[in-house]
Homo-oligomer: A and B are copies of this chain.
Amino acid sequence: MKTRILFIVILVFISLTSSNSQVLYRKTIAIPDISGYLTLKADFHIHTVFSNGLVWPTVRVQEAWMEGLDVIAFTDHLEYHTFDKDVVYDDNRATEVAKSYAQMYGMVLIKGTEITRSQPLGHFNAIFTTDNNKLRVKDSILSITTAGQQGAFITWNHPHENNKGWNEVQEMLFKQGLMNGIEVANHNTYFPEAQQWCMDKNLTMMGTSDVHNPITFDYNFQKGEHRTLTLVFAKEKTPESIQEALNNHRTAAYWKDKIIGKEEFLSEIFKNSVSFLNTTITINKKNKIKAVLYIKNSSDIPYKIKFTEKPADITIPTEILLEPGKTSAIDFDGKSPGQKLYSLTFEVTNLLVGPNKPYVSTVNLTVVNQ
């Protein structure tokens, strides 16, 4: 009897000491809010050991927290339960298991699943589902319809893998309101066609990691990489607010160094990130330009500027990288221009407002004599 009590006490002690009380660090992804909305960082396509992912669900919460994300959804495959010899089958468990962690770390965690079928249908994600196990039926369309009945937001995943493109099945689902968004970027790949489809049919653009490995296997954070994600322009950081934003197509995909989305969102992100600190060109007494243009980039996005129109008599580097969090000083050279006001037109080549189409803007410069 006595030994039993002792044993319990001992176990408590052990769990204290062996549980490595640890420190984790969260970085900030500095992408500015836009007017009226927060810019939330979300990944809506994530796998765990409850399908063919390789980590325990709580790890996904901590990974995302450390990377600066606000929102994640678990989307384990209904059809693949690779570890079924060792892991008990239940398509709602991943979310349940990680729930308290999400709460503790202040992450929004959304229940979801991946409906993984063959072409021409392809793979679909349903998020904001209520019971994934009910979607595990043979008939693909029935599975998606059931998700719709649960109030899910449904997306077509990595459509580039579908060698038939947008076909009858997609058209049918779209018309029935069972396709609400498309992945324009999935892990390493960007699909310009998908961006066009979203623009043509007013669908929500998604960017996702589709991660199966521990996230550090797939992204080299050391080199400044980030996982492919969706920027959600939401009124609040709540599940409801996020779903409202998705339903109203207020998203952009953040993929490698590029943001893919509507011009109305991307232009505002750019203007809230970048300031031209000095727009005066001084001309010295020898009639030559002696000036430096300063551009401050307060965001984490490495904007790439390409001047497309500029006066012939000034020399500046054609392409400029605005390093994240830094001020760029750009040497001006040349001789005095005739005019008192210059306008420089530039492309931001990593803001894609259409399929491979850069955002275009201008800056005005004033000329003064020394």
Which residues of A are in contact with B by a Cβ distance under 8 Å?
3, 6-28, 49-50, 52, 54-56, 58-59, 62-63, 65, 79-80, 83, 85-88, 90, 93, 97, 100, 104-105, 116-119, 123, 138, 158, 161, 187, 210, 212-214, 216-218, 221-222, 290-292, 315-317, 320-321, 323, 325-335
Docked Cα-Cα span, A218 to B24, in Å, equals: 9
A23 touches which one: B63, B97, B161, B320 (CB < 8 A)? B320
Which residues of B are found within 8 Å of A317, using beta-carbon distances?
21-23
Contact between A105 and B187, CB atoms less than 8 A apart:
no
Report which of B56, B212, B291 forms a contact with A49, defined as CB distance below 8 A. B56
> In the bound complex, how far is the Cα of B331 from the Cα of A270, in angstroms?
37
**Which residues of chain B are near A187, meaning CB under 8 Å?**
20
A interface: dominant SS: mixed
Cβ-defined partner of A13 (8 Å) among B7, B28, B119:
B119
Whether the Cβ atoms of B28 and A325 lie closer than 8 Å is yes
Task: Identify the closest chain B residue to A86 (Cβ).
Answer: B88
Instruction: Given A65-B329, A326-B28, A329-B65, check contact A161 B18 (CB 8 Å).
Output: yes
Distance of A216 Cα from B85 Cα, bound (Å): 28
Asked if A333 contacts B17 (CB within 8 A), the reply is yes
- Chain B residues closer than 8 Å to A104, beta-carbon distance: 290-292
What are 21 of the A-B contact pairs (CB < 8 Å)? A3-B138, A7-B118, A9-B118, A10-B118, A13-B118, A14-B118, A18-B80, A19-B212, A20-B212, A21-B331, A22-B217, A25-B326, A26-B327, A28-B326, A55-B214, A86-B87, A86-B90, A86-B97, A88-B88, A104-B291, A105-B292
Q: Which residues of B contact A323 (CB under 8 A)?
A: 25
A277 shortest CB reach to chain B, Å: 9
Inside 8 A of A213's CB, which chain B residues have their CB? 22, 59
Rounded to whole angstroms, the CA-CA distance of A297 and B101 in the bound complex is 22
Q: Look across to chain B and name the residue whose beta carbon is closest to the beta carbon of A49.
A: B56
Interface contact B23-A59, CB-CB below 8 Å: no
Residues of B within 8 A of A86 (CB): 50, 87-88, 90, 93, 97
List residues of chain B with CB within 8 A of the CB of A3: 138
Contact A11 B119 (CB under 8 A): yes
Q: How far is the CB of A363 from chain B (nearest CB, A)?
A: 15
Besides the contacts A12-B335, A28-B325, what 5 more A-B pairs have beta carbons closer than 8 Å?
Answer: A11-B79, A22-B217, A24-B217, A27-B325, A54-B55
Chain B positions within 8 Å of A52 at CB level: 18-19
Closest residue of chain B to A21 (Cβ to Cβ) is B331
**B15 and A118 contact, CB distance less than 8 A:** yes
Query: Of A25, A123, A212, A216, which is in contact with the most chain B CB atoms at under 10 Å from its CB?
Result: A25
A118-B10, A214-B214, A214-B216 as given contacts; A328 in contact with B24, CB under 8 Å: yes
CA distance A54 to B55 in the complex (A): 6
Known: A55-B59, A117-B10. A22 touches B87 (CB 8 A): no
For A334, what are the chain B residues with a Cβ–Cβ distance below 8 Å?
16-17
In the complex, A327→B310 CA distance in Å? 43
Q: Which of the residues B16, B55, B88 comes within 8 Å of A333, measured between beta carbons? A: B16
CB contacts (< 8 Å) of A161 on chain B: these are 14, 17-18
A93 to B83, CA, bound (A): 12
Give every chain B residue within 8 A of A93 (Cβ-Cβ): 86
Q: Does B11 contact A118, Cβ atoms closer than 8 Å?
A: yes
- Whose C-beta in chain B lies nearest to the C-beta of A12? B118
Q: How far is the CB of A291 from chain B (nearest CB, A)?
A: 8
